[in-house]
Amino acid sequence: MEYISSLTLSHFRSHKISKLLLDGRPVVVFGKNGTGKTNILEAVSLFSPGRGLRRATASDITRKPEAIGWKIEGKVKNRISEYEVSICSTNGESRSLFLDGKKASIMKLGQILRIVWLVPSMDRIWIEGTSGRRQFLDRLTLSYFPEHAEVSLAYEKAMRERNRLLKEKIHNDHWYNALEIEMAKNAVSIQKARIKAIKYLSEAQSHLTEKFPKAELLLIDPDQIIITNEEEAVEALKESRRSDMILGRTSVGPHKSDLQAVYADKSTLAKDCSTGEQKALLISIILANAKSLAKISDISPIVLLDEVSAHLDVERQAALYNEICKLGVQAWMTGTGPELFSDLRNRAQFIEVSTIDGVSALSLSN
């Protein structure tokens, strides 16, 4: 299994210098509000390509008021080897990665670790606009297919260029053709990867404990069927060129897709479920994600669960902890007090976070 065996945060938000030594067991991070627990999980989330769990920029993260930049150093262990990972940002520049001391592309992180998370702000994704659900689906997809990050970036880059032409009312067929071919190629990869990810999630959910409800997931599109064929995608873009020019942006493609979820036992759309049920659906999906990743990929995932336990009754807490221990993944869980995790007493590492002179301080608490 893969796990983080050491983690050092330097000038990372509320942390000036915080160091942790860990084994592969789950990690419980507890402490009062505002002490810096989520900040730790955010740091771990940056061990994967793409935006971290707060979707923050590098300059948001740098510790204020000093604002001298920040660094995360970690060791990632697996059965055969150990990697030294260092991620840093200076002068507000986007983050750089050093692997075993050598500069590397951030995309490389996807080959070392798979990280999935659940944070309180995601509780609202079922009732809010499509972008939150799409981001959630893409994060899940990325965990199965690390190349999804690069493909999505390539798609967005070509689309931005096309949107610029549309806005400036430029009529240059060659230019559009080239961009649309590039977009179509990546659009098809994006949709195929999303559909496959949904399939993996569905399969894995059927093996979950009955304490968590099954979510039926479906990739949908507001006004057309999902295109998974390159020629059709090229055609659709070409056809919409004229109307897109009036809009000044691209109106078809994977950037419009939505994730539909149905609470299976009740045949109710997630958006119509109670808040508790919506949360339970998210947990089911994340557990299914971790479960199928552990099975499908040869990299076991790291699961970040921010403030999840507080919303569960004791029975569901126990079910969650049992699933996590059964999976044998390094799950990082936060909560305000250790009593939320008493059931994990001997099965996890407990870390207490407090604030001393305005700076986060960590102590091992076993």
Residues in touch with ligand ADP (CB under 6 A)? 13-14, 31, 33-39, 61-64
The answer to whether the CB of 247 falls within 8 A of the CB of 293 is no
The answer to whether the CB of 79 falls within 8 A of the CB of 1 is yes
Residues of span 333-352 touching Mg ion by CB under 5 A: none
The answer to whether the CB of 273 falls within 8 A of the CB of 281 is yes
Q: Give the residue with the Cβ less far from ligand ADP, 37 or 291.
A: 37
The residue assigned the tokens 């771990």 is: 44
Q: Give the one entry of ligand ADP, Mg ion, none that residue 89 binds, where binding means its C-beta sits below a cut-off of 5 to 8 angstroms depending on kind.
A: none
The answer to whether the CB of 29 falls within 8 A of the CB of 42 is no
Output the smallest distance, CB 63 to ligand ADP, in A: 4
**How long is the chain?**
366
Q: Give the residue with the Cβ less far from Mg ion, 37 or 95.
A: 37
Q: Give the one entry of ligand ADP, Mg ion, none that residue 13 binds, where binding means its C-beta sits below a cut-off of 5 to 8 angstroms depending on kind.
A: ligand ADP
Output the smallest distance, CB 28 to ligand ADP, in A: 13
The answer to whether the CB of 12 falls within 8 A of the CB of 70 is yes
Question: Does residue number 330 form part of the binding site for Mg ion (CB under 5 A)?
Answer: no
Question: Does residue number 191 form part of the binding site for Mg ion (CB under 5 A)?
Answer: no
DSSP E strand stretches across 66-128: 70-77, 82-89, 96-99, 102-104, 115-118
Judged by CB under 5 A, which stretch of 35-43, 188-196, 256-264, 311-319 contacts Mg ion?
Answer: 35-43
Neighbouring residues of 293: CB distance < 8 A, sequence distance ≥ 6: 114, 116, 143, 144, 299, 300, 301
Q: Give the residue with the Cβ less far from ligand ADP, 121 or 229.
A: 121
Output the smallest distance, CB 228 to Mg ion, in A: 39
The residue assigned the tokens 């942790």 is: 20
Output the smallest distance, CB 40 to ligand ADP, in A: 7
Q: Give the one entry of ligand ADP, Mg ion, none that residue 64 binds, where binding means its C-beta sits below a cut-off of 5 to 8 angstroms depending on kind.
A: ligand ADP
Question: Does residue number 38 form part of the binding site for Mg ion (CB under 5 A)?
Answer: yes
Q: Give the residue with the Cβ less far from Mg ion, 42 or 138.
A: 42
Question: Does residue number 14 form part of the binding site for Mg ion (CB under 5 A)?
Answer: no
173 Cα distance to chain centroid: 38
Gap between the Cα atoms of 114 and 287, Å rounded:
14
The residues of the shown chain that bind Mg ion, judged by CB under 5 A, are: 37-38
